[in-house]
Amino acid sequence: MPLITTIEDLRRLAQKRVPRMFYDYADSGSWTESTYRANESDFARIQFRQRVARNIDERSIRASMIGQDMAMPVALAPTGLAGMQHADGEILTARAAAAFGVRYTLSTMSICSLEDIAAHVGQPFWFQLYVMRDRVFMQQLIERAKAAGVDALVLTLDLQILGQRHKDLINGLSAPPKLTVPNILNMLTKPRWVAGMLGTKRHGFGNIVGHVKGVADITSLSSWIGQQFDPRLSWDDVEWIKQCWGGKLIIKGILDVEDARLAANCGADALVVSNHGGRQLDGAPSSISQLAAIAEAVGEQIEVWLDGGIRSGQDVLKAMALGAKGTMIGRAHLYGLGALGEVGVTKALDIIARELDVSMALCGYNDIRDVNREILLPGSFPTGVC
């Protein structure tokens, strides 16, 4: 196996080991994928100020996100179908995150269930919720999350309808996936993945199958999912969910200053500047390009985090410099999972932590909590405050 030193190394290995339809599901955007690409390329335009002859002997990248202590200002973002990147993927990822000292967010559309994570990890984690038409099921999910030890709810607001993802259409990625001859042949070229899937019973959507009336197995799931994402979603629904939950609430999917103000006013504990990894509205701006304006507008009222395009510790550092109090990584940890399972997720976290520490030090800072815009080269970052 080649030496792994970057997230890109993990991505390449995951591409070799994960069947095409599931790799493409994780590593693609909607329509032309312009927003997906901008999430990464806009980070690259931001430059650091290198500082010298400053005492950087003792350093800390520890941070607090919604009052919870983290080994670094990074949480693992919710990612659907993680259990198709690697057998029992959500369990393995949650274990790696807990051992490292960061929070894992389980997706509503996970393969492993809330109960699976609670039973196999034994430490608090977060849960991501979509607004669905079936409010009774949503209430049940919230109660199950409480029972499983979830200590923060991540409410995703930017998926009222599903963005068109061409690779998924071409590959037949649906619920259940279409096992066409090309897909089957491709899976047979991934022996590690096949062996893992044969060794687990978790192949469906564990949070849904068996918990919804009329959805007893994966074959009956497709029509239910197609009807569930609720285009009538409003801020009144957010208030209802907040009341049902009663705990720490994180609003994910904010890309506009006006929406950020609404999120701050609704009483949430944090908002996540995010365009769903470029998987929803193609042609929308990158997450990092909107961060400074949103942090300036509402950062004193609510914690502002950044999700989208983070592939290194340097990206985390840039986000913190532009006003984020925390970040979330999705694809970066999925690459590790697909490449090497639990070990790969730990490797991804190690890479980001090391890059964050070294880059912060070379900019002359000792503590991630002290980082601000002065760490960046003037003129290299977006400042458009609305």
Residue 265 CB: number of other CB atoms within 10 A? 12
Separation in Å, CA 361 to CA 75, 121, 229, 316, 352: 22, 34, 45, 14, 14
Query: Left (φ > 0), alpha (ψ -120 to 50) or beta: where does 206 sit?
Result: alpha
Separation in Å, CA 282 to CA 45, 263, 285, 319: 20, 23, 9, 22
The residue written with tokens 């949503």 in the block is: 138
Tokens representing residue 276 in the block: 């769903």
Separation in Å, CA 94 to CA 39, 133, 351, 363, 369: 25, 28, 18, 32, 25
CB 158 within 8 A of CB 271: no
CA quadruple 77, 161, 177, 119: dihedral sign: positive
276 belongs to the catalytic site: yes
Number of H helices and E strands in the chain, helices first, is: 16, 10
Active-site hit among 86, 211, 276, 333: 276
Whether the link from the prior residue into 176 is cis, omega within 30° of 0, is yes
What 54-62 contacts at long range (C-beta under 8 Å, 24+ apart), as own/partner pairs, is: 54/364, 55/366, 56/361, 56/364, 56/365, 56/366, 58/366, 59/357, 59/360, 59/361, 59/365, 59/366, 59/367, 60/366, 60/367, 60/368, 60/369, 61/353, 61/356, 61/357, 61/360, 61/368, 62/368
Which residues form the catalytic set?
276
